[in-house]
Amino acid sequence: MNGVLASEKLIKAREYENRKQKEIPQGQKPAFHVSAPIGWINDPNGFSLYKGEYHLFYQYHPYSTNWGPMHWGHSKTDDFIKWDQLPAAIAPDEEYDQQGCFSGSAVEHEGRHILMYTGVQDKVLEDGTKVSRQTQCIAAGDGYNYEKLSCNPVIQSWQLPEGSSAVDFRDPKIWKEGEVFYAVVGSRHEDNSGQIALFSSKDLKEWEFVSILERCNNQYGLMWECPDFFLLDGKYVLLTSPQEMRSEGLEFHNGNGTMYLIGNYDREQQDFSREGVGSIDYGLDFYAPQTVLTEDGRRVMIGWMQSWDNHMVPQGFEWSGMMTIPRELTIKNGRLCQNPVREIENYYQNPVTYKDIIADKPLELKGIRGRELDMTIDVEAGYYGCFRINLAHSEKYSTSICYDLSKNTLTFDRNYSGLKRDVIYQRSMYVKNQDGKIRIRILMDKYSVEVFVNDGEQAMTSIIHTPIESDRIVFGGEGNVKFHVTKNDVVVN
């Protein structure tokens, strides 16, 4: 263990995952997306650059396909497409994290890989009341083994301003500026709504409260989870995942959502002022995104491709949960834009292109089918009712993406994808009115469908558990819809 003494819980988890993941049928998992080694994964954690490689951790319960006591699973890559599975990194093996090692982040410092996470502990107060407490903790390691600091927890709820919750205080995102470390942490105000707290430290051990960076004021959901804060294209961006959202048109949906806030940051006052707010992803399965700054200066984001309200595991699967494709972020016209990392192009094979196709009836194009692909469709401006793409199509199954010109909406519908539970199957979003012109990029990896509209101005992420044999793609339209399409298979050996 390279000088680090692993706990019994961590050894058990590592032995279990090593044994059980070998039993998963060959080819069942996605080809170029991070997925659960075995059991359950949710929020991405510790997305970071360490010694020239990109590491990703995630909330992990190896022993079942349901959420359970949280460990940290671990993967790494050098190009965001081909991932290596590493052993579990940390387990809930201390008094302060006995109920789970919840979400967090990571940073490189003096040759060490620093993990910052939320420890959850159940306590019994003097009057016999049972309470849960969430604190922020640190583990340091070498990219493989990690040791928790003896001074943990390093940030506790009593350091928050008066009126803040001692129960909902989690998901630290750490970064370093000069000689100072900073961390934003999700918190809850006494009015029951979310707030983002900012802390600083010079040595990772002693932390001070700096300010409340932003507050929800009961405007966007309640508790704000999984914050991230960074500079992008001259503006500061705050990402968060609000709980208990209420629908606002087609911009935000009920339940657990995601949101970006774009604005300015006053360093002297440690104050963030928002200028724009929007949904990060409009699909059925996207939550808890986290970013990393690459060596070449790109801001890359990854998210959990699942929904708390739509937990779906196909019968016989012993793993549940996957991550999105890592996405390059930019700001364009005040919106957060996202596109798959450019490295995916290194895995293209079997290119097929068609120009000036008229979709006035259902049609299939030779060479355009499959479940591991990157496809871009350019629809020309014109007068028509709608344009439809049916994916993972067969006589029995189909998943549709429909652009309705009259409503300026794009709708994803998985009602006939093979679902066996009464879960949410459809979601729509408004798109820019360009007199019928629209660019739709679709990334598929067996059970995932990621849609990027108009060069990343909007994204829709959803999963389907359609049998792999259903791999036809059918285009259609109401009226004379002219479009062009380019498809590349994505092949990762």
Catalytic residue positions?
43
Instruction: Judge whether 35 and 80 are in contact, CB under 8 Å.
Output: no
Instruction: Judge whether 149 and 139 are in contact, CB under 8 Å.
Output: yes
Which pairing describes strands 39-50 and 319-320: parallel, antiparallel, or unpaired? Answer: parallel
Phi and psi (nearest 5°) for 406? Answer: -65, -30
Q: Using the 8-state DSSP alphabet, how is residue 252 labeled?
A: B
Q: How buried is residue 492: exposed, middle or buried, by Cβ count under 10 Å (0-12/13-18/19+)?
A: middle
Rounded Cα–Cα distance for residues 479 and 233 (Å): 41
Rounded Cα–Cα distance for residues 361 and 385 (Å): 12
Phi and psi (nearest 5°) for 158? Answer: -65, -15
Task: Report CA-CA distances (Å) from 331 to 102, 236, 335.
Answer: 30, 10, 5
Phi and psi (nearest 5°) for 451? Answer: -115, 130
Q: Which of 108, 109, 104 is nearest to 48 (CA)?
A: 108
Instruction: Judge whether 38 and 29 are in contact, CB under 8 Å.
Output: no
Rounded Cα–Cα distance for residues 139 and 152 (Å): 9
Sheet containing 194-201: give its strands across.
164-177, 180-189, 194-201, 207-215
- Cα 122–chain centre separation: 28
